[in-house]
Amino acid sequence: MVLPEKKTYGYRERNEEQRAEFLNYISQYAYQRFVYVDEAGVDDTEDYPYGWCDKSQRYYDLKLGHKTERISLIAASCCRQIIAPITFTGYCNTELIKMWVEFFLVPELLPGQIVIMDQASFHKSAQIKQLIEMAGCELVFLPPYSPDLNKIEKFWARLKHHLRKTLDQFDGLQNAIDNALRLLS
């Protein structure tokens, strides 16, 4: 008997040669040296898409048809630990990432670590690279269209799953996120 399996997507635009080069490069180092950086956003329409009802019934529920609150997060992951997490309202830009790197990430870095970021345009500032290098670290970019190679993505998935299940237990999205960060970090 074949059971349905959740489909995992990749991107057609990704370059397998660049992915292989990246994997070969990081295979030369111990995983403790890697610091994976990423951003995520959540809003108050996050919902757990399952519920309990009689087998012969369809489960119905009501939810907001529009977002009323959106909170973004920036964090890094090293050795399966979340470091330097911050939350803010709105979207990322170069100035915000630069401020986060300077005041939150760099104090957590150890010389010799390798900071890995995706190809987002706001990561490519010369000032960000300089801040990381002044901390004695190296900045490496993931191959394009390769979020699956960023280890912090699994944390974001766990965090969002937790929020979907518990959001209605908290007074506000920020409180739910703060709780999830405490529990999952």
Secondary-structure percent of the chain, ordered helix, strand, coil, rounded to 5? 40, 20, 40
Reported as a single tens digit per residue, the pLDDT across 21-34 is: 999 999 999 999 99
Fold that domain 28-44+67-184 belongs to in CATH: Nucleotidyltransferase; domain 5 (3.30.420)
Q: How far apart are the first and last CA of the chain?
A: 39
Domain boundaries, the chain: 28-44+67-184
Reported as a single tens digit per residue, the pLDDT across 10-68 is: 888 999 999 999 999 999 999 999 999 999 999 877 655 566 667 777 776 666 666 67
Reported as a single tens digit per residue, the pLDDT across 134-179 is: 999 999 999 999 999 999 999 999 999 999 888 889 998 999 999 9
C-alpha dihedral sign at 78, 82, 86, 89: positive
